Amino acid sequence: MRIADYSVTKAVLDRHGFTFKKSFGQNFLTDTNILQKIVDTAEIDKSVNVIEIGPGIGALTEFLAENAAEVMAFEIDDRLIPILADTLRDFDNVQVVNQDILKADLQTQIKAFKNPDLPIKIVANLPYYITTPILMHLIESKIPFSEFVVMMQKEVADRISAEPNTKAYGSLSIAVQYYMTAKVAFIVPRTVFVPAPNVDSAILKMVRREQPLVEVKDEDFLFRVSKASFVHRRKTLWNNLTNHFGKSEEIKSQLEKALSQAGLAPSVRGEALGLEDFARLADALQEAGL
Ligand code: SAM
């Protein structure tokens, strides 16, 4: 029997008198086939260390611990710490860290792996209310992980992995795809969780690129420009850029110069631009003095 078997999950919850906290995004997985598929998608074996975010009562942690060298799991909810000590008592390769992942000093924490030189993968069933902040925090944390295999709301997974000229494409696709390749591995129905969330989920596999997809002078400026270009999706690039930078004659002439240098028509929409276009645009805007 596994922690994720429905009867075991229910017994654990009853034994500890646990009640779900919606504000922590607590939807626990009760499907062992899906857990095996997550481990297979992440290609976890004894040559990798895993960081997990939000172990809950340990459904995914159990599968990770069996397959990985070591698991470090960050859980914000104090009430789950004694429960995890109970459910994971047979494993000597799991460390549960009672911390908010967004506040954890990951550079220091990962030194606590027994073998800190092994490659790190991040595997999780994420708390949906902070999916994007968690992804950006980890990507920007500079910890040397090679892959993310995480469950999230299907709609967010679609946005992250979207291609230009699709409805789902936007600044989130650009922010993640700059650093990582992103592909939906499989869809997970809402019925396999307790309690069931009111959206379907997807497993997204993201692999870190050896270097960012495009070369740009100022990364923060690139992300600012891409965000500004999608503020009003139905409007042209020109409209969005003048809304963001200003509408004075001087600014308009700087914008015209930059667009022409980047080879982009003012009438184009942000959703038609790929990362290379945005990189060229950002560099040209800066050169024009914006
Ligand atoms: N991994 C378990 C599973 O698959 O059954 C639970 C997944 S549940 C969707 C999300 C988990 O993340 C919960 O255990 C919740 O308490 C935890 N969590 C929420 N916010 C967190 C944060 N900021 N840092 C660490 N853990 C968090």
Provide the pLDDT confidence category of residue 47 given band limits of 50, 70 and 90.
very high
Distance (Å, whole) CA 70 – CA 49: 5
For 200, phi and psi rounded to 5 degrees? Answer: -80, 165
Which token pair is 14? 């009853």
Return the pLDDT at 142. 83
Return the pLDDT at 101. 98
Task: Give the CA angle between residues 120, 122, 126 to the nearest 5°.
Answer: 165
Q: How many CB atoms lie within 10 A of CB 195?
A: 11
- Cα 270 to the chain's mean position, in Å? 23
Helix (H) or strand (E) holding 242: helix 237-245
pTM to 2 decimals?
Answer: 0.95
Distance (Å, whole) CA 120 – CA 56: 21
Distance (Å, whole) CA 85 – CA 125: 19
| Percent of the chain surpassing pLDDT 70 | 100
User: Would you call the peptide bond into 195 cis, given omega within 30 degrees of 0 as the criterion?
Assistant: yes
* Residue 193: strand pairing partners: 29
Q: Which domains does the chain have, with CATH numbers?
A: 6-208 (3.40.50.150), 219-287 (1.10.8.100)
> Contact 87/12 with Cβ under 8 angstroms?
yes
Binding-site entries for S-adenosyl-L-methionine? 27, 29, 54, 75, 100, 125
The residue whose CA has the least distance to atom 22 of ligand 1 is: 100
Distance (Å, whole) CA 20 – CA 3: 17
Return the pLDDT at 140. 85
Return the pLDDT at 9. 98
CA 24 to ligand 1 center in whole angstroms: 7
Provide the pLDDT confidence category of residue 287 given band limits of 50, 70 and 90.
very high
DSSP conformation letters of 18-34: ----GGGT--EE--HHH
pLDDT tens readout for residues 154-197 = 999 999 999 999 999 999 999 999 999 999 999 999 999 999 99
pLDDT tens readout for residues 52-70 = 999 999 999 999 999 999 9
Which token pair is 193? 């969780």
| Percent of the chain surpassing pLDDT 90 | 98
Candidates 21, 63, 77: which one to mutate for ligand 1, based on the most atoms within 8 Å of Cβ?
Answer: 77
Candidates 53, 72, 192: which one to mutate for ligand 1, based on the most atoms within 8 Å of Cβ?
Answer: 53
Candidates 75, 128, 151: which one to mutate for ligand 1, based on the most atoms within 8 Å of Cβ?
Answer: 75
Distance (Å, whole) CA 140 – CA 179: 9
Ligand 1: nearest atom to the Cα of 104: 24
The residue whose CA has the least distance to atom 11 of ligand 1 is: 54
pLDDT tens readout for residues 80-93 = 999 999 999 999 99
Measuring CA to CA, which residue among 283, 228, 232, 224 is closest to residue 259? Answer: 283
CA 80 to ligand 1 center in whole angstroms: 10
pLDDT tens readout for residues 244-284 = 999 999 999 999 999 999 999 999 999 999 999 999 999 99
pLDDT tens readout for residues 190-245 = 999 999 999 999 999 999 999 999 999 999 999 999 999 999 999 999 999 999 99
To the nearest whole number, what is the mean pLDDT of the chain? 97
Provide the pLDDT confidence category of residue 141 given band limits of 50, 70 and 90.
confident
- Cα 190 to the chain's mean position, in Å? 19
